[in-house]
Each structure stands twice: as structure tokens, then as C-alpha cells.
Structure 1
Amino acid sequence: MCIGVASTVGRVAFGLLSDHEKVNRVLLQQISLFSIGVFTMLLVAANAWVYMILLCLGIGLADGCFFSLLGPIAFDLCGPEGAAQAIGFVNALSAISVTLGPTIAGKLFDHFNSYTVPFLSAGAPLILGALGLFAIMCVKN
């Protein structure tokens, strides 16, 4: 519930923030993706309920930022002709991880009898993806 409420607030707040001309939307989305990965990995260190709630609020805000910028960034990068296809492609890739993620996490828990490996495994691809996208931004056109 905390993630959902924070995501709603994040969608509105970051949607308004990204409308400013001085804000780099792509960089903002990469920071949010990186943050989701870090917060997910930090969940294994949350030894009190309050820390878990704070991390979930952070995940929700970053999630709201990430998803509110999908459409505008697709439109900016692919133009009006390719935006729909770009959004569909991103949603298809997301569906794979959403479908397979819980099954793989369950198998990892069964094997290690701990939630540490599943949460670290869930956060790592997000961090690597954000770093990869950042590296692409550093390359000259």
C-alpha cells in the first residue's frame, strides 16, 4: 500500500517537474530506475518495520517517476510515429520480468532459504540497466 500511494504522489510530482525545460527527462528516469534497484537491494538490510516502510516509500516515489516519464520520453526519442511502438516494446520487456520474477525469486528462496539473494538479484538488473543507459547518454551522437 505504501508503494502504491507513494507511486501516485511520485507520478504527479515528477510529471510536473519533468515539464520544466531545464529538466533532463531521460536522466531523471535513469536516476529513478537506479533508485528502485538500490532501494530493492536495501530491503534485505531493513531490520525494523520503520526502515522497510521508508524504503517502500522510496521505491514508490521512484516507480512513479519512472512510469510517468515512459510516454514523454518515448515521444521525445522516437517521435510521434514510433512512440506507440516504443511504449509497447518497453511494456513487453517489463511483462517478462513481472511474469518470471516471482517464480525465480521463489526458487532462489527455496534454494538458499533466505530472502537476501532474491532481493539482491531483483535490484541488480535495475542498477545495471540504469548504468548502461547512462553510458549510452555519454556517447556523442
Structure 2
Amino acid sequence: MYIWILTNSIGFITGFGAIIYCYTATYKFIKRRISETLADHHVDQVRVLLQRKVLRNSILMTIGVLICYIPESIAMGFMSAKVLRRDTVVGAVLIAISYASMLADTIVTPCLILYFSAPLRDAFCFWKQREKDEDEWGVRYDDDLLRH
């Protein structure tokens, strides 16, 4: 039991540490690239705004991942420490919530990526508008004409 607790704890700590490290490294890399790109220009305010946007997006992604996976680690910690058991109502509810939060990551991450990427967001909005027009007006778009 103690080996499982130790392995699980090390795995979660390492995993969350790696996620935070990756987002921090990405932020620093993008910040450096923005600084190099805009170094010739006297647009410090634009650079600061872009860096803040990247930092905000990195923080949002980190929070999204943590919110989705922390309940699972807490539930596993309670179960492994024998504070709760799976066959109790509270244990079953906690496990269900933790699994639901992990499954929510399949929705949260694509939504955040869609929020961050303006071209992808515009393409998605165009696709949704096209479906709405087809439903409301009975208009059928010819895909071959749209590709050219």
C-alpha cells in the first residue's frame, strides 16, 4: 500500500510539475521571440501587451489542466490513505466527480485552444454561421466553390 501511495504521489507531483514547467518554458520562449521580433521597433507597449496575453493564456491553460486533474489526485490520495472507501456513498461520489473532471478536460482543452487561436476561432465561427444559414434559409453551399 505504501509503495502505491509513494508511486502515485511521485507520479502526480512529477506530472503536474512537468505541466507547469512546459507552460512556463513556453511562456519564456514566446516572450523571448516577441522581444527579438519587436526589438527593432519602438513599440514597447505592444510587446508588453503581447507578453501579458501569452502569460494570461499560459495561466488559463495551467488552471484548466489543474482543475481537471487535481480532483482525481485528491480522490486517489483519500482512497490510498484509507480516509475514504470506494464502497461508501461519499467515496463513490468523490470518485464520480474526479472522473467527470478528468473527462471535462476533453472539452476544456479544445475550447481553450479555440479561444486562443484567432484563425481557428474564425474558421469555426464561419462553419457555425454556414450551418445556421443552411438551417434558416435552406441555402445549400457548394463546397467546391468555397475552396477556390
For the criterion TM > 0.5, the same-fold answer is no
Larger RCO (alpha carbons 8 Å, 6+ apart): 1
Shorter-chain TM-score: which interval? 0.3 to 0.5
TM-score under structure 2 normalisation?
Answer: 0.34
Bigger Rg, structure 1 or 2: 2
